[in-house]
Amino acid sequence: MRGKTKTIHNCPGIKTVEELPTPWNFDGSSTKQASGDNSEVFLKPVKVVTDPFRGSPHVLVMCETYQDLNLTIPNRTNMRFFAKKIFDAKLDEDPWFGIEQE
């Protein structure tokens, strides 16, 4: 998991990803998410939540990472994209998930 901070002025009350400017990007070579000769990684906002530390109107935005400006080729480290394809295949099921960090 990585973090990137972006400050957007004069945008009070953002509630949905559609209200956010896209795409965002970062240099992925320093995080080993891209090679040095093609280091740009693009961020696609997928979820907006109220910042639990600063409260409203501040928000946190969860993003997926992509290799291309059109946001069609997921980055190899974009595990959410690949997991969502599996989860969405069985929407009628009640899956159980476990996460472990060591």
- Residue 65's beta-bridge partner residues? 43
pLDDT band, very low/low/confident/very high, at 2 (cuts 50, 70, 90)? low
Q: What is the pLDDT of residues 54-101, one digit of tens each?
A: 888 888 888 888 988 888 999 888 888 888 888 889 888 887 777 676
pLDDT score recorded for residue 72: 92
> pTM of this prediction?
0.72
Structure confidence at residue 84 (pLDDT): 86
If one looks up domain 17-88 in CATH, what number appears?
3.10.20.70
Tokens of 58: 């501040």
Q: Which residues of 14-53 are buried (b: 16+ CB within 10 A; e: fewer)?
A: beeeeebeebeebebeeeebbeeeeeebbbbbeebeeeee
